[in-house]
Amino acid sequence: MKRRAVSADFSGLKSRLAARLPARLDAGEPAGLETSVALILAPSPRGPEALFIRRAEREGDPWSGHIGLPGGRRENADADLLATAIRETREEVGVALAPPLLLGALDDLRPRTPSLPPLMIRPYVFGLAARPKTRLSGEVADVLWLPLAELPACAGKAVVSIRAEPVEVDCFKPGGTVIWGLTYRIVLGLLPLLA
């Protein structure tokens, strides 16, 4: 994929993201593990679509098999969390992102499950001119493109297993896929900005 500027389809979203100051957790409290994710958008006839991943199932991974976004832990070689999101996306799904494709950042988040390690997640939003080709890594079982405008109609509750305990959670359920937890909260933060 050529590293072009943001698609014109997302110029309004880029302006709305630039007009707000995202909440940052690194001011005044320990961040724990610093991580970032890429929320990748592409235009479609049904409005902006987002790239989601289904994580590979792995023993001991608290996110095993979950729907998520490409991303991961900051490494020492990463200049910042934006570099982390770009690197992790390339490693996990083979998509080459670049700063000119960045639309902006959303609020930092923490997991609400107390059994997870302390970490901070910074979501970055990217706007592409079209769906890129993807290549799955060992960490990713599948890639899904879902139209964001259709997710609110799929909002509801689902029972998921957290540490082998059934827990009812808020979620989006498009076509039987359950998007919950941090990914649900990240998308929920973006939806009002799409209008």
User: Given this model, what pLDDT does residue 9 score?
Assistant: 83
Q: Both tokens of residue 158?
A: 């689902």
What would the mean pLDDT of 171-181 be, rounded to a whole number?
94
pLDDT, one tens digit per residue, over 140-160 is 999 999 999 999 999 999 998
The mean predicted confidence, pLDDT, of the chain is 89
Q: What is the distance in angstroms between the CA of the first residue and the CA of the last residue of the chain?
A: 28
More reliable by pLDDT, 3 or 105: 105
Gap between the Cα atoms of 159 and 107, Å rounded = 26
pLDDT exceeds cutoff 90 at 195: no
Question: What structural domains does the chain harbor?
Answer: 8-149 (3.90.79.10)
User: Each residue of 120-141: pLDDT tens digit?
Assistant: 999 999 999 999 999 999 999 9
- Lowest pLDDT segment from 14-28, 65-79, 164-178: 14-28
Residue-wise pLDDT tens digits, 29-78: 555 789 999 999 999 999 999 999 999 877 766 566 789 999 999 999 99
| Beta strands 165-172 and 179-180, pairing class | antiparallel
The pTM of this model reads 0.91
Contact 140, 56 (CB under 8 A): yes
